[in-house]
């Protein structure tokens, strides 16, 4: 296996990403905003952040007025758009906007709308799961779900062509992406994402999620966010919010190591109604697809 | 005018949203879930509201709140719940109703069963459609498995036992004649290969398919008969258990569990759940479908710890 030799080369490539001209200046203030519970965020804060760049403001107005959100009276102010869409959706739009700037269109190895459906879906599921098991910081779980696949963005940027190949192969065989990555590239999106997350100085708990969500047995046991994201990610992947293809395997969540570990500290997990949780997830899929469609629908000329 | 239509559409959706946001529909949803194990998530709430509204004239009430009270009242509850469940499941039956379920069978479950049963020297699959109603599910499975005859199931045979409490349903199932509504998901390939023309626009299932299924009357509450169902690989029981109270549901599900050879799978209707009915079956996920697994290591007659 080329696993060991691939890492220094990967590190070099990721280090180079730091000096990208389009490195997102909005990222740090945005992350601060993302970490707050929506009810603690003042509208003024969001408006200030959104006004950072004309293109973001324009995009927010376009989405708020899009037929998908069916507003009778169009809104013309950012404040109006924030009210219309809600803080949660604004956060998601800002983050995707930020990354869509970072990654040029021709560099996305994975379809960006597929990627964002998965990321928004996972964020929602992780937040809900945290809620049900009474994990103290629902918003941190939401953020962890949102950013867990940072490595997919890294792989798209640094290994565009090879990565397209990896995705195509995984899709053809209905195989988990991380397995195909390890085999074809010698590393997974966990490793590449981890390197960038550290470079960007993301919160330590989030870095750990990015690094270990597919290998929880190797990660730090004291961080339950890793197990939450691992389970949320699996659920999304069997309910139509995966990487754009179906993975042909049976997922037995209660038999998963992450489930067992999490249940030790959060007994509510054992009595959770998993069937109902899954059916509720299908309702989120509709909302998430709508948001992503609105983000990626071409602006009216 | 497109703009006008758009506005009208928005107005009706908005109206629908307001009506369904009536907290009493949520209460009805929770009551139905607790009593019957059939769940309506937010995006399916309009279906429940529709079923309630169709029942209201006959029950002589208007609005979600009085209808909820009818369901909550011990004097009217049992009868009204049964009527409501009939409304909820009406039109649910058609052939090829759940493509994700068939995909799961083809891509994961059948290969797994073939591998584990081959080791035991077995080359026959046994499938039970419990509460087969008018036969749509049984014929779907038979045709789907016949299609696999030259592929996954080469060298294998299968038999489907289809049972129902209702004699008239069994008769209709045996006839195997379906109209356009029941056939709306059936592809041309299947229509050509497995059906012949019947009266009007109806189609009749060919005898070669019928020969793979035995239809018979069975009461799932009949413990002595239930004990005879053994050595099954797959059990389907769609929208039947919702009519049972929790103790009978537990007993029936226990029979299903014992009937399966591990690893074996138990399939419910897409909105049904076994939550708080059993913890012996494990809920597993496959793309777009869930099912209950009797794991290979499961010991029978295990009591709750």
Instruction: Return the pLDDT at B303.
Output: 39
Phi and psi based region of residue B91 (left: phi greater than 0; alpha: psi -120 to 50; beta: remaining):
left
ipTM, interface predicted TM-score of the complex: 0.85
pLDDT band for A301, please (50, 70, 90 cuts): very low
Contact A265, A94 (CB under 8 A): no
Taking an 8 Å cut-off on Cβ atoms, the answer to whether A282 and B43 are in contact is yes
Instruction: Work out the minimum CA distance from A246 to partner chain B, whole angstroms.
Output: 6
Q: Which of B4, B152, B264, B287 to mutate to test the interface with A (most CBs of A within 10 A)?
A: B287
**Residue among B42, B107, B293 whose CB faces A174 most closely:** B107
Q: Per the omega criterion (within 30 degrees of 0), is the bond before B263 cis?
A: yes
**B257 is written with which tokens?**
């569990």
Contact B164, B93 (CB under 8 A): no
Instruction: Work out the minimum CA distance from A74 to partner chain B, whole angstroms.
Output: 13
CB-CB neighbours of B54 under 10 Å: 15
What DSSP designation does B299 have? P
Q: Give dist(CA B100, CA B70) in Å, integer.
A: 37
Q: Which of B4, B10, B43 to mutate to test the interface with A (most CBs of A within 10 A)?
A: B43
CB-CB neighbours of B229 under 10 Å: 20
Taking an 8 Å cut-off on Cβ atoms, the answer to whether A276 and B288 are in contact is no
The CATH number linked to A104 is 1.10.3210.10
Among A228, A234, A229, CA closest to A251? A234
CB-CB neighbours of A73 under 10 Å: 8
Instruction: Work out the minimum CA distance from B20 to partner chain A, whole angstroms.
Output: 15
Taking an 8 Å cut-off on Cβ atoms, the answer to whether A254 and B6 are in contact is no
HEC string of A256-293?
CHHHHHHHHHCHHHCCCCHHHHHHHHHHHHHHHHHHHH
Counting one residue from A and one from B, how many pairs have CB atoms under 8 Å apart?
Answer: 84
Instruction: Return the pLDDT at A131.
Output: 95
Residues of A whose CB is below 8 A from B39: 275-276, 279
Among A217, A242, A214, CA closest to A230? A214
Please, what sign has the CA dihedral across residues A145, A281, A180, A244? negative
Would you list the domain boundaries of chain B?
2-89, 99-294
**B189 is written with which tokens?**
């390939």
Instruction: Return the pLDDT at A209.
Output: 98
Query: What's the pLDDT tens digit per position in A85-126?
Result: 888 888 888 888 888 878 888 999 999 999 999 999 999 999
Closest chain A residue to the Cα of B288, Cα to Cα: A239
What is the average pLDDT score of chain A?
Answer: 88
Residue A88 lies in a domain: no
Closest chain A residue to the Cα of B277, Cα to Cα: A273
Instruction: Return the pLDDT at B10.
Output: 47
Length reported for chain A: 301
Contact B140, B96 (CB under 8 A): yes
| Helix (H/G/I), strand (E/B), else coil: A159 | coil
Stretch A202-210: mean pLDDT: 94
Residues of B whose CB is below 8 A from A67: 6
Taking an 8 Å cut-off on Cβ atoms, the answer to whether A280 and B42 are in contact is yes
Query: What's the pLDDT tens digit per position in A44-84?
Result: 888 888 877 777 888 888 888 887 776 677 888 888 888 88
Instruction: Work out the minimum CA distance from A209 to partner chain B, whole angstroms.
Output: 23
Residues of A whose CB is below 8 A from B108: 248-250
pTM, to two decimals: 0.87
Of the listed ranges A26-35, A284-293, B107-116, the one predicted with least confidence: A26-35
Please tell me the total count of domains within chain A.
Answer: 1
In the block, residue with structure tokens 């040029």: A104
Question: Residue A78: how many CA atoms within 13 Å on its side-chain side?
Answer: 19
Taking an 8 Å cut-off on Cβ atoms, the answer to whether A72 and B293 are in contact is no
Residue A87 lies in a domain: no
Q: Give dist(CA B296, CA A85) in Å, integer.
A: 48
Helices (H), chain B: 2-20, 23-36, 45-59, 64-72, 77-89, 99-104, 110-119, 136-147, 167-175, 188-194, 207-210, 223-226, 246-259
Q: Give dist(CA B223, CA B257) in Å, integer.
A: 14
pLDDT band for A2, please (50, 70, 90 cuts): very low
Taking an 8 Å cut-off on Cβ atoms, the answer to whether B288 and A240 are in contact is yes
Instruction: Work out the minimum CA distance from A242 to partner chain B, whole angstroms.
Output: 10
User: pLDDT per position in chain B (305 positions), as tens?
Assistant: 344 444 444 444 444 555 657 899 999 999 999 888 999 988 888 889 999 999 999 999 999 999 999 999 999 998 999 999 988 887 678 999 999 999 999 999 999 999 999 999 999 999 999 999 999 999 999 999 999 998 999 999 999 999 999 999 999 999 999 999 999 999 999 999 999 999 999 999 999 999 999 999 999 999 989 998 999 999 999 999 999 989 999 999 999 999 999 999 999 998 999 999 998 999 999 999 999 999 987 555 443 33
Domain B99-294 CATH assignment equals 3.40.50.150: yes
A191, pLDDT greater than 90: yes
Question: What is the CA angle A221-A226-A229, rounded to 5?
Answer: 155
Taking an 8 Å cut-off on Cβ atoms, the answer to whether B286 and A250 are in contact is yes
* B34 CA to centre of own chain: 18
Residues of B whose CB is below 8 A from A174: 107
Q: Which range marks the domain in which residue A238 is found? A: 3-19+95-296
Taking an 8 Å cut-off on Cβ atoms, the answer to whether B284 and A276 are in contact is no
Taking an 8 Å cut-off on Cβ atoms, the answer to whether B275 and A275 are in contact is yes
Closest chain B residue to the Cα of A68, Cα to Cα: B10
Instruction: Return the pLDDT at B16.
Output: 54
Taking an 8 Å cut-off on Cβ atoms, the answer to whether B290 and A253 are in contact is no
Instruction: Work out the minimum CA distance from B109 to partner chain A, whole angstroms.
Output: 8
Residue by residue, DSSP assigns A161-228 as: HHHHHHHHHHHHHT--HHHHHHHHHSS-HHHHHHHHHHHTT--HHHHHHHHHTT-TTTS-TT-HHHHH
Residue A72 lies in a domain: no
Instruction: Work out the minimum CA distance from B291 to partner chain A, whole angstroms.
Output: 10
Instruction: Work out the minimum CA distance from A227 to partner chain B, whole angstroms.
Output: 18
Residues of A whose CB is below 8 A from B101: none
A1, pLDDT greater than 80: no
Closest chain A residue to the Cα of B40, Cα to Cα: A279
Instruction: Return the pLDDT at A50.
Output: 81
Backbone φ, ψ for residue B269 (5° rounding): -60, 160
Please, what sign has the CA dihedral across residues B192, B198, B200, B203? negative
Residue A55 lies in a domain: no
């Amino acid at each position: 296996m080329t696993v060991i030799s691939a890492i220094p080369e990967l590190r070099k490539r990721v280090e180079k990403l730091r000096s990208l001209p389009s490195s997102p200046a909005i990222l740090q203030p945005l992350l601060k905003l993302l970490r707050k519970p929506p009810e603690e965020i003042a509208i003024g804060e969001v408006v200030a952040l959104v006004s950072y760049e004309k293109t973001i403001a324009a995009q927010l107005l376009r989405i708020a007025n899009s037929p998908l959100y069916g507003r009778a009276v169009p809104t013309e102010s950012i404040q109006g758009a924030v009210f219309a869409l809600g803080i949660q959706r604004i956060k998601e739009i800002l983050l995707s906007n930020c990354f869509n700037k970072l990654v040029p269109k021709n560099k996305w190895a994975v379809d960006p709308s597929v990627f964002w459906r998965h990321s928004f879906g996972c964020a929602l599921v992780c937040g809900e799961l945290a809620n049900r098991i009474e994990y103290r910081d629902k918003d941190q779980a939401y953020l962890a779900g949102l950013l867990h696949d940072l490595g997919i963005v890294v792989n798209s940027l640094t290994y565009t062509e090879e990565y397209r190949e990896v995705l195509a192969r995984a899709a053809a065989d209905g195989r988990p992406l991380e397995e195909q990555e390890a085999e074809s590239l010698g590393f997974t999106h966990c490793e590449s994402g981890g390197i960038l997350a550290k470079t960007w100085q993301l919160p330590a708990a989030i870095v750990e999620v990015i690094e270990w969500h597919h290998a929880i047995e190797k990660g730090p046991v004291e961080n339950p966010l890793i197990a939450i994201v691992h389970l949320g990610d699996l659920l999304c992947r069997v309910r139509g919010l995966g990487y754009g293809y179906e993975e042909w395997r049976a997922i037995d969540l209660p038999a998963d190591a992450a489930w067992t570990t999490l249940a030790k500290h959060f007994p509510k997990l054992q009595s959770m109604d998993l069937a109902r949780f899954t059916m509720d997830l299908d309702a989120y899929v509709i909302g998430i697809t709508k948001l992503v469609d609105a983000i990626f629908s071409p602006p009216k000329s | 005018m497109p703009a006008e239509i758009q506005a009208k559409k928005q107005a009706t959706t908005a109206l629908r949203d307001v009506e369904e946001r009536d907290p009493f529909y949520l209460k009805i949803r929770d009551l139905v879930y607790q009593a019957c194990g059939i769940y309506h998530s937010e995006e399916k709430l309009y279906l429940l509201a529709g079923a309630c509204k169709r029942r209201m004239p006959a029950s002589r009430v208007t609005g979600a709140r009085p209808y909820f009270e009818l369901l909550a009242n011990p004097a009217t509850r049992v009868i009204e719940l049964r009527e409501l469940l009939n409304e909820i499941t009406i039109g649910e039956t058609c052939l090829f109703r759940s493509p994700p379920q068939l995909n799961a069978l083809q891509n994961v479950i059948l290969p797994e069963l073939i591998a584990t049963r081959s080791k035991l020297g077995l080359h026959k699959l046994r499938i039970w459609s419990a509460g087969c109603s008018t036969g749509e599910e049984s014929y779907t499975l038979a045709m789907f498995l016949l299609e696999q005859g030259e592929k996954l199931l080469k060298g294998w045979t299968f038999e489907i036992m289809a049972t129902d409490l209702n004699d008239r349903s069994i008769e209709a199932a045996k006839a195997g004649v379906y109209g356009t509504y029941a056939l709306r998901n059936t592809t041309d390939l299947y229509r050509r290969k497995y059906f012949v023309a019947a009266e009007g626009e109806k189609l009749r299932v060919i005898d070669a398919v019928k020969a793979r299924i035995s239809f018979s009357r069975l009461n799932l509450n009949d413990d002595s008969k239930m004990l005879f169902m053994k050595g099954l690989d797959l059990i389907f029981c769609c929208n039947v258990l919702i009519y049972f109270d929790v103790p009978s549901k537990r007993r029936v599900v226990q029979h299903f569990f014992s009937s399966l050879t591990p690893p074996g799978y138990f399939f419910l209707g897409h909105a049904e759940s076994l939550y708080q009915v059993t913890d012996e079956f494990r809920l597993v996920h496959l793309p777009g479908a869930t099912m209950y697994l009797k794991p290979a290591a499961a010991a029978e007659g295990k009591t709750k710890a």
